[in-house]
């Protein structure tokens, strides 16, 4: 607002305009108060489902309607299902689709063998080992374990395992499944598989579910080892021997798939 006289000043305080007019002879400013009516706007929500969806931390519409239907919470008005998509839920709740629970199992021993290295384990064992290597047969579920000092021993242990199991079972190793670590995808390992007619399956990176048999087996072994050492108050340096002992015991367990026989017998 433009003022013709510089001695006039206007202030606005909570809906009231305070006008200071020209100063009088006794050095005072007379006040002229003009009161204005306050105005407000009412906020209304047309979509109550969306409102309660936000209030409940982006709870799904089905659960919200269940709360309202069964009168489990007071204050919720009647809700109607909406087809409106919440973009925040799409970004914040995205996840991978689950893998198929039912999968084709091998029909004979050594048709498919899972291989995995677990480590580095701290502290090192008494013999200086820092890793353990497991081979798990898909048909029987039996596991073989080798304790390693370095990862470069994987190929030599694989050759040792292949010669052992093929002569003992009179079956041929047909397929090997590993992840994409460097010790599995080396040229020497690839050439050895080609020379012996072994199909080498590689899982996708950041997808341990594709090699879930080995991952779960490693977790089971580690749980058993920690429990046994804790129960006897043995130092962690005995982990190397405890790994071998745990696998020996696991092969004499039974599973849901083999309900009447042990893994060793299968």
Q: Is residue 2 part of a domain?
A: yes
**Do 149 and 25 reside in the same domain of the chain?**
no
Mean pLDDT score across all residues of the chain: 78
Q: Is residue 261 part of a domain?
A: no
pLDDT, position 17? 54
Could you give the C-alpha distances from 185 to 140, 176, 193, 200, 205, in angstroms and in order? 26, 12, 11, 9, 13
Mean pLDDT of the 146-174 span = 90
pLDDT, position 20? 53
Q: Is residue 219 part of a domain?
A: yes
pLDDT, position 18? 54
Q: Is residue 48 part of a domain?
A: no
Q: Is residue 64 part of a domain?
A: yes
**Do 74 and 32 reside in the same domain of the chain?**
no
Number of domains in the chain: 3
- Is the confidence at residue 98, as pLDDT, over 60? yes
- Tell me the residue range of the domain where 70 lies: 59-92
**34-43: per-residue pLDDT in tens?**
655 566 666 6
**Do 71 and 30 reside in the same domain of the chain?**
no
Q: Taking the model in full, what pTM does it have?
A: 0.62
**104-139: per-residue pLDDT in tens?**
677 888 899 998 888 778 888 888 888 889 999 988
**Do 158 and 239 reside in the same domain of the chain?**
yes
Quote the CA–CA distance of 186 and 105 in Å, as a whole number.
Answer: 28
**48-59: per-residue pLDDT in tens?**
777 777 777 777
**Do 125 and 187 reside in the same domain of the chain?**
yes
pLDDT, position 31? 66
**Do 119 and 24 reside in the same domain of the chain?**
no
Q: Is residue 17 part of a domain?
A: yes
Q: Is residue 74 part of a domain?
A: yes
3-state secondary structure 102-158: CCCCCCCCCCCEEEEEEECCCCCCCCCCCEEEEEEECCCCCEEEEEECCHHHHHHHH
pLDDT, position 2? 43
> 1 falls in which pLDDT band (50, 70, 90)?
very low
pLDDT, position 46? 67
**Do 197 and 126 reside in the same domain of the chain?**
yes
**Do 156 and 222 reside in the same domain of the chain?**
yes
């Amino acid at each position: 607002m433009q003022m013709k006289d510089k001695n006039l000043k206007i202030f606005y305080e909570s809906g009231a305009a305070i006008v200071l007019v020209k100063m009088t002879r006794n050095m005072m400013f007379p006040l002229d108060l003009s009161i204005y009516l306050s105005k407000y706007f009412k906020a209304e929500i047309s979509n109550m489902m969306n409102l309660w969806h936000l209030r409940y931390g982006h709870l799904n519409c089905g659960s919200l309607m269940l709360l309202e239907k069964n009168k489990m919470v007071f204050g919720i008005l009647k809700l109607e299902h909406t087809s409106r998509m919440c973009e925040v839920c799409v970004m914040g709740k995205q996840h991978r689709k689950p893998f198929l629970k039912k999968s084709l199992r091998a029909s004979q021993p050594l048709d498919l063998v899972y291989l995995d290295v677990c480590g580095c384990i701290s502290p090192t064992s008494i013999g200086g080992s820092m890793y353990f290597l497991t081979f798990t047969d898909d048909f029987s579920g039996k596991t073989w374990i080798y304790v390693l000092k370095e990862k470069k021993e994987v190929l030599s242990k694989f050759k040792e395992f292949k010669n052992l199991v093929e002569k003992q079972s009179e079956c041929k190793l047909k397929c090997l499944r590993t992840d994409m670590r460097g010790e599995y995808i080396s040229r020497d390992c690839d050439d050895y598989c080609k020379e012996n007619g072994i199909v080498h399956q590689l899982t996708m990176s950041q997808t341990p579910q594709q090699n879930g048999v080995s991952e779960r087996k490693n977790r089971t072994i580690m749980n058993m080892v920690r429990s046994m050492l804790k129960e006897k108050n043995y130092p962690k340096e005995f982990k190397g021997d405890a790994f071998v002992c745990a696998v020996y015991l696991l092969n004499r367990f039974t599973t849901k798939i083999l309900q009447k026989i042990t893994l060793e017998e299968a």
